[in-house]
Chains A and B, each alone.
Chain A
Amino acid sequence: MSVTIKDVDKIAQLAKLKFKENEKVKLQSELNKILEYIDQLNELNLDNIEPLENINETENVLRKDEIEIWLTNEEALRNAPSKTGKFFKVPKVLDK
């Protein structure tokens, strides 16, 4: 399996990142190295081994359904780069 520049473009687009051509080449080789490492893992026989979905082996960390007020509206908006009244404000977005 090897990563093409087209793959890099696609991943960058999904992650909303922009790269220059020389950066893309560098990323391509780095991504390929990661995949090579994963290919090494593929050589292991994992037939009867359950996938590890979480390093944490505990189960059912749950909480009661009780309200706690954490932030006021002013506090919530304090770090916002842009706001209007009680709202966060972002550049216009359309179609989801």
Chain B
Amino acid sequence: MIGLEIHAQMKTNTKAFCRCSTDFHSSPNSNVCPVCLGYPGCLPVLNEKLIEFTIKMGIATNCTIRSNSIFARKNYFYPDLTKGYQITQFDTPLCYEGHINIKLKNKETKKIGITRIHIEEDAGKSIHDFHDDETLIDFNRCGVPLIEIVSEPDMNSTDEAHQYLSKIKQTLIYLEINDGNMEEGSLRCDANISLRLKGTETLGTRTEIKNLNSFKNVSDAIEAEIKRQTSVLESGEKVSYHTMTYNAKDKTTAATRTKEEAHDYRYFPEPDLVKLKISEDWLRKVADNLPEFPDKRRDRFMKDYFLPESDSEEITHDRKFADYFENVAVNLSDKNERSFRTASNIVRAEVRKVMNEKKIGINEFPLPAKAIAMIADSVNSGKVSITASKEIFTLMLSGKSEEEMLSIFRESEKNLSIVSDTSEIESIVKKIIDTNPEETQRYKSGEKKLAGFFVGKVMQESKGKANPKIVNELLIKLLEV
């Protein structure tokens, strides 16, 4: 059984309890103030946006939002924690008892319980490998707001854990409350794992693997820990509770040396912060401003745009990308299944290809949605072939302004429009037959599958402009004499 604890940094401008910037790229110790440096006599003041963001995640994961909650101090000493305690929520998490649905490999849906979502602050960053006997500390991160999303131990495989993490990440990004960047640490994961022997009801002791910072590490670490626990159990021994670390180099987990009895956090209510009350009114305001959630949007795209589930899933996975597609759809002159499919193909293949090549997001993609709609219209009305549409797309990318792109479109559409003039196509077909006597002979002696070869040659010669239907008819006519 696997449970995940996900720490997600909230995309607020300022820290949780002071007005310092949360910018990750600032120079060390420049986003600090007396509050986050833990100077005595300073008072924390809660960031309103942080509460709004946490409520959003709570609603998106079907949690109950607690109307009265408080903050607590979690006490421990570590140099990157200025105050000697972390402000967190203990027995009154803002959100609790929710769930999300994940898609399993066999296409079935599985409900994964969310125990709680609470607010806490991050610690500073220690740099150990700079000096042999000294540690350097950057407090820019100290006080940066996090939410911790704790799941029920409802996952039974590495794949389910992966799906769950992926769904949580997608939801956070859809809500625009986290940037999903695991490398920079704005999304981190701890995994709790315990095994149950086949045919028994009781669950073994759990272990916890800390600080997994990529999808691959989450999967590999869980796999490694399951293997380790299995071999412990098979040798007749018992698994004992440990905090584990994962070594990505040799793909193994190992218990940390930390003594467990040292973890006595002596939680108590934070006296410097007052009660947090979420009124019905506030809750409604947040709920009214939520975007359409990915699963709902996927289902709607299947219905509204007649897209197959996989295409719909692909488009709606990213909110901005889905927005872009909807913008294309609005601009199509024919709104039918065929034109939506054409638009979907261009967006999923051509647009995505450029985004991948240039490593850019859809926001930085140069062509306006209207341009994609024009290309799709051109294909749907039979003016240009799909091959030619790809060329028009590429040509338009070189336009510096929207105006220039449109004039490139008009010109290239004219140049590349499908030739339906039979005599023109016939002369090309004749030329191809004449220059490929061997294939012609083989075709005539029964090797009919060579038809594809001739079609390809003709299309190539016509630069993709020949009307394929006429090409086929003419080829059959001229080859079968």
- A interface residues with partner B (beta carbon < 8 Å): 10, 13-14, 16, 53-56, 58-73, 76-77, 82, 84-96
Give Cα A10–Cα B275 distance, bound, in whole angstroms: 32
**Residue in B27, B32, B132, B266 whose beta carbon sits within 8 Å of that of A71 in the complex:** B32
For residues 120 through 163 of chain B, which have their beta carbon under 8 Å from a beta carbon of chain A? Answer: 126-128, 130-139
B402 to chain A, nearest CB (A): 34
**Please, which residue of chain B has its CB at the minimum distance from the CB of A14?**
B264
Interface string of B59-93 (1 = CB under 8 A from A): 00000000000100001011100000000000000
Chain A residues lying within 8 Å of B75, measured Cβ to Cβ, are 14
> Contact at A65–B132, with CB atoms within 8 Å?
no
* Given A70-B19, A88-B136, A90-B134; 13 other pairs, CB 8 A cutoff: A13-B262, A53-B70, A54-B269, A54-B273, A54-B275, A56-B274, A71-B32, A76-B29, A86-B30, A87-B137, A92-B132, A92-B135, A93-B135
Contact A95-B256, Cβ < 8 Å, known A63-B19, A68-B19, A70-B33? yes
B390: Cβ under 8 A from any A Cβ: no
**Please, which residue of chain B has its CB at the minimum distance from the CB of A58?**
B274
Chain B residues lying within 8 Å of A76, measured Cβ to Cβ, are 29-30, 32, 37, 139
Chain A residues lying within 8 Å of B126, measured Cβ to Cβ, are 93
B91 to chain A, nearest CB (A): 10
Interface string of B240-265 (1 = CB under 8 A from A): 00000000000000001110001010
B139 to chain A, nearest CB (A): 7
Stretch at the interface among B42-50, B355-363, B434-442, B451-459: B42-50
> Contact at B139–A59, with CB atoms within 8 Å?
no
Chain A residues lying within 8 Å of B20, measured Cβ to Cβ, are 67-70
Give Cα A64–Cα B276 distance, bound, in whole angstroms: 15
Chain B residues lying within 8 Å of A16, measured Cβ to Cβ, are 77
Give Cα A75–Cα B334 distance, bound, in whole angstroms: 64
5 A-B contact pairs sorted by A residue (CB < 8 Å):
A61-B274, A70-B19, A76-B32, A86-B30, A92-B135
**Residue in A66, A71, A88, A94 whose beta carbon sits within 8 Å of that of B33 in the complex:** A71
A62 to chain B, nearest CB (A): 4
**Please, which residue of chain B has its CB at the minimum distance from the CB of A61?**
B274
B171: Cβ under 8 A from any A Cβ: no
> Contact at A91–B274, with CB atoms within 8 Å?
no
Contact A65-B135, Cβ < 8 Å, known A70-B19, A70-B33, A95-B258? no
Contact A91-B134, Cβ < 8 Å, known A61-B45, A67-B20, A96-B78? yes
- Number of contacting residues on B, CB 8 A? 53
Chain A residues lying within 8 Å of B132, measured Cβ to Cβ, are 92
**Residue in B12, B137, B277 whose beta carbon sits within 8 Å of that of A90 in the complex:** B137
Contact A86-B128, Cβ < 8 Å, known A16-B77, A62-B47, A65-B48? no
For residues 1 through 34 of chain B, which have their beta carbon under 8 Å from a beta carbon of chain A? Answer: 12-14, 18-21, 27-30, 32-34
Give Cα A22–Cα B131 distance, bound, in whole angstroms: 40
**Please, which residue of chain A has its CB at the minimum distance from the CB of B270?**
A54
Give Cα A58–Cα B75 distance, bound, in whole angstroms: 25
A15 to chain B, nearest CB (A): 8
**Please, which residue of chain A has its CB at the minimum distance from the CB of B35?**
A70
Contact A86-B27, Cβ < 8 Å, known A65-B12, A92-B128, A92-B131? yes
**Residue in B28, B34, B130, B134 whose beta carbon sits within 8 Å of that of A70 in the complex:** B34
Chain B residues lying within 8 Å of A86, measured Cβ to Cβ, are 27-30, 138
Give Cα A90–Cα B138 distance, bound, in whole angstroms: 11
Give Cα A79–Cα B24 distance, bound, in whole angstroms: 24
> Contact at A67–B258, with CB atoms within 8 Å?
no
Contact A88-B29, Cβ < 8 Å, known A14-B264, A53-B275? yes
Give Cα A85–Cα B27 distance, bound, in whole angstroms: 11
> Contact at A93–B79, with CB atoms within 8 Å?
yes
B308: Cβ under 8 A from any A Cβ: no
> Contact at A96–B258, with CB atoms within 8 Å?
yes
With most chain B CB atoms within 10 A of its CB, the pick from A55, A58, A91, A92 is A92
Interface string of B263-306 (1 = CB under 8 A from A): 01010010101111100000000000000000000000000000
Chain A residues lying within 8 Å of B256, measured Cβ to Cβ, are 95
**Please, which residue of chain A has its CB at the minimum distance from the CB of B256?**
A95
**Residue in A68, A73, A91 whose beta carbon sits within 8 Å of that of B133 in the complex:** A91
B386: Cβ under 8 A from any A Cβ: no
Chain B residues lying within 8 Å of A71, measured Cβ to Cβ, are 32-34, 37
> Contact at B70–A54, with CB atoms within 8 Å?
yes
> Contact at A60–B276, with CB atoms within 8 Å?
yes
> Contact at A66–B19, with CB atoms within 8 Å?
yes
Chain B residues lying within 8 Å of A10, measured Cβ to Cβ, are 264
Chain B residues lying within 8 Å of A14, measured Cβ to Cβ, are 75, 262, 264, 266
> Contact at A63–B48, with CB atoms within 8 Å?
yes
B233: Cβ under 8 A from any A Cβ: no
**Residue in A65, A73, A93, A96 whose beta carbon sits within 8 Å of that of B28 in the complex:** A73
B9 to chain A, nearest CB (A): 14
Chain A residues lying within 8 Å of B79, measured Cβ to Cβ, are 90, 93
Contact A59-B28, Cβ < 8 Å, known A64-B48, A67-B19, A87-B136? no
Give Cα A10–Cα B263 distance, bound, in whole angstroms: 11
